[in-house]
Amino acid sequence: MPKLKFGIIVFPGSNCDHDAHYAAGTIMGQDARFIWHKDSSLGDVDVVIIPGGFSYGDYLRCGAIARFSPIMKDVVRFAGMGGTVLGICNGFQILTEAGLLPGTLLRNASLKFVCKDVFLKVENSDTRFTGACKAGGVLRIPIAHGDGNYFADAETRARLEENGHIVFRYCSPGGEITAEANPNGSQGNIAGIVNEAGNVLGMMPHPERACDPILGNTDGQRIFKSVMGSFVIQEVVHNLS
């Protein structure tokens, strides 16, 4: 199978763009490229990563200004056509501001910036982002954010729960969903969600920071392997039909 083309959007203030490039390109061996936010076209990419950081200095609200960058029009088009979009940390915030994912990310309940490894329970392993994960399995992935407190109104949350759109929840090392394991006050310990069509994932934890074996933790590779696996499945289905 040919290499997948990962397009990593770079906003002024993005600071995990190089980590995402390194993870997708150097570690996973795929074709990774940066896409400047002023560009109007994604080109022929297969996967879009909206990386972490502080786009536009988090002015007004996290992600509020980034969504007006010219490239976001094409990201919305790409997502609308079923393209795979992964928003990490600030990328998740941008996706909610752009209306591609429901809800929003509030200030951490502790009011503190939290930077540490957390444990994530894979609540739905039947997505293109988690196909290589065990259902109910636990991943150790770092977080680094001040505004990661997921909030949505009761109706939206009920819909997320019913449809299995909650992909990751903060949990204990043993996989229990507890208040102690919740680093930021997120409703229902929500750490990551997908949209209705299942092609757009937003997550606060940073899988790209847990890919290089030299760092002692490669759990983040699961997300990349899942995405790569989803394209293999698509190709097989295409060849059969």
For residue 28, the 8-state DSSP code is: T
Positions marked catalytic: 89, 206, 208
Please report, as residue ranges, which positions from 132 to 191 form the binding site for other proteins (by CB under 8 A). 151-153, 185
How far apart, in whole angstroms, are the C-alpha atoms of residue 188 and residue 45? 34
Instruction: Determine the Cα–Cα distance for residues 168 and 120; give it in Å rounded to an integer.
Output: 6
The single residue among 5, 12, 33, 64 that binds other proteins, judged by CB under 8 A, is 64
- CB of 224 within 8 A of CB of 19? no
Q: How many residues bind to other proteins according to rule CB under 8 A? A: 18
> For residue 234, which amino acid is it?
Q
When the beta carbons of 106 and 132 are compared against other proteins, the nearer one is 106
Q: Where are the beta strands (DSSP E) in 78-165?
A: 84-88, 104-106, 114-122, 138-145, 149-151
Q: Which of 41, 52, 37, 113 is nearest to 83 (CA)?
A: 41
Task: Examine residue 76 and tell whether it contacts other proteins (CB under 8 A).
Answer: no
Least distance (Å) from other proteins to the CB of residue 61?
6
- Nearest CB to other proteins, comparing residues 195 and 217: 195
Stretch that binds other proteins, among 3-11, 59-67, 72-80, 135-143 (CB under 8 A): 59-67
Do residues 39 and 226 touch, judged by C-beta distance below 8 A? Answer: no
Q: How far is the CB of 145 from other proteins (least distance, A)?
A: 15
Contact 51, 8 (CB under 8 A): yes
Q: How far is the CB of 194 from other proteins (least distance, A)?
A: 18
Only segment of 5-13, 34-42, 60-68, 121-129 that touches other proteins (CB under 8 A):
60-68
List interacting residues with other proteins (CB under 8 A). 60-61, 64, 68, 96-97, 103-104, 106-111, 151-153, 185
